C-alpha cells in the first residue's frame, strides 16, 4: 500500500493502490482532510474549506 506524508503533522498516510488524483483521504493521526495531488510518488495537500462570503445571502 503506497504511503505519503501528511503536510499537517508529517505522519505517514496510507493511500489505497486504486486511488486517483483528486481523491481525498484523511490522516489517521491528526484527522486532516487531504487531497491526492500527485501519484508517482503519491503527494498530498490539505483540502481548503471553501469560505462562503458572509455578505452574500442565499435565496
Sketch the domain layout of the chain as residue ranges.
3-46
pTM flag (> 0.75): yes
pLDDT at 26 over 90: yes
pLDDT at 53: 54
8 A C-beta contact, residue 8 and residue 46: yes
3-state secondary structure of 42: strand
CATH architecture of 3-46: Single Sheet (2.20)
Grid coordinates representing 47 are 483540502
Whose cell is 499537517? That residue is: 8
Amino acid at each position: 500500500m503506497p504511503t505519503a506524508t501528511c503536510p499537517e503533522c508529517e505522519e505517514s498516510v496510507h493511500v489505497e493502490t486504486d486511488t486517483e488524483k483528486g481523491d481525498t483521504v484523511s490522516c489517521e493521526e491528526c484527522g486532516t482532510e487531504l487531497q491526492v495531488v500527485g501519484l508517482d510518488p503519491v503527494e498530498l495537500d490539505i483540502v481548503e474549506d471553501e469560505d462562503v462570503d458572509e455578505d452574500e445571502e442565499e435565496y
